[in-house]
Structure 1
Amino acid sequence: MSLINEVLTQAGLDSKEASVYSTLLNNGGLTVLEIANKSEQKRTNLYNILEDLKQQNLVKEVKEGTTTKYFPQSPKEIEKLLERKSQMVHHAKLNYEILINSLQSQFTLIENKPLITYLEGIKGLHRLYEDINDTGEDILLLRSAYDDKRKDVDNLVSAQIVEQVKRGIHAKVIGPLEDIEEAKSLYTKYDKIRLVEERYIKNFPFNLPAQVTVYGTKTAISTIRKDIIITIIDNKDTTDTFRTLFDFIWKYSTPEHNNIVKNWVQE
């Protein structure tokens, strides 16, 4: 870009307007056809471009018999354009200073607003598991008393555990002790290879109708007793709150858990 065209665009002209005005400065009065040939602008576009330049007092139109020619106005008009643009920038800056506190408040509200996603059905549960896998971080799980009552859910959970192992995702799990023999089998034979660490509680004081999964910056609350409805909250403060609650329950349940598994030997 030539220096004159750069100044013209800084004054507010677009590249086509700058090209046409620069062409007229270099050649004097020209017809539309001559401008098209010298500026490499399409003739059909030139009428609008020239009209805009006339409005900015950079071009004047002169009739010579049946011929119409366009002449450049004094380059001093560019200074006026620059001055007007400078004034506009100054006013914009004043308006910005008035609005900045309000704008910043709006931005902060949006930035800190939790992103909430709703999912439904087996497909929704599958999408949750895909999100956990994509995040790739270890998970915390507060089990629901209903999360092993459905065969379709069991199959999906089994597949998810395999995928988590492939990705090296560890899981800490807290839940009620419902079937001691099944729990013993899982604990002694499978938990290590499944990258699972559990805390069992016989008299589970939290009879949760929904399952809570914490991963990354997200907390997923899944109801699966009847219809599967999943709410995922993507917000660090919310998730840190659930992490703190989970850690408290984990520590609370550890003595009872240790007493339950003290004679169980993990393979």
Structure 2
Amino acid sequence: MDKLLQHLEKLNFSVNEAKVYLTMIKLGPSLAGNIAKEARLDRSSTYNALKALTQRGIISTIFENKRTTYIPENPKKIIDYYKEKEEIAKLIAPEIEKQFHYRKEKSAVKVFKGFKGVKTVFQDVIDTCDKGSVYHILGSEGQVSEHMPYYASILRARKEQKKIHTRTIIRSGRILKTKGKYTEYREVPVNTISPVTINLYPGKVAIFIWGDNPECILIENEEVKKTFESYFEFMWKHAKK
């Protein structure tokens, strides 16, 4: 249940909305009072959550005998809800881009925090890399699969769809649980397990610091990227295949 709550929160459900929704899935059609009792929430919080879930279209209501019964819809409605949001985003994005007058500076340093921030950087890797291009990873410990298992397969699929090749330097002895279709590994004799991973891709260096609340420092500077890349190439040349 806790895992489901966490995943729903990542879909922008509030804590109370997630609790109420999972309670309804368990109970089936129910009155608000019964839902509040089972979810261990006060009535006001329950009604607010029910209202929000109704607006999303993932629950419905029946009014009979002067009482409202709340009914959970098929969970696939969640997918439908976000597909609709995606279509809206696709519709308005071109118009927003026309009005986007921000002039990109020659260099910039940005900090992204939390799992959402990390996902933003990974999506930037996918968007920035051309089809069939190569980017480099230094110090990977499989943190994406460990901390974001729900997202790791999505990221892998997006990379493979664009046929993006990855050259990854890892420490000797690291056990590889999965290997991407376009990923090549080489080993260096390092005993320390580091929470830091460095990604090098066109014009950018992304430094990930992994933990319960991960961060990423993104450096947008071609010269800095080339410098890191020269170090990477030296290590790659001398690393064990």
Normalised TM-score (structure 1): 0.45
Report which of the two structures shows the higher radius of gyration computed on alpha carbons: 1
Normalised TM-score (structure 2): 0.50
Greater helix fraction, Structure 1 or Structure 2: 1
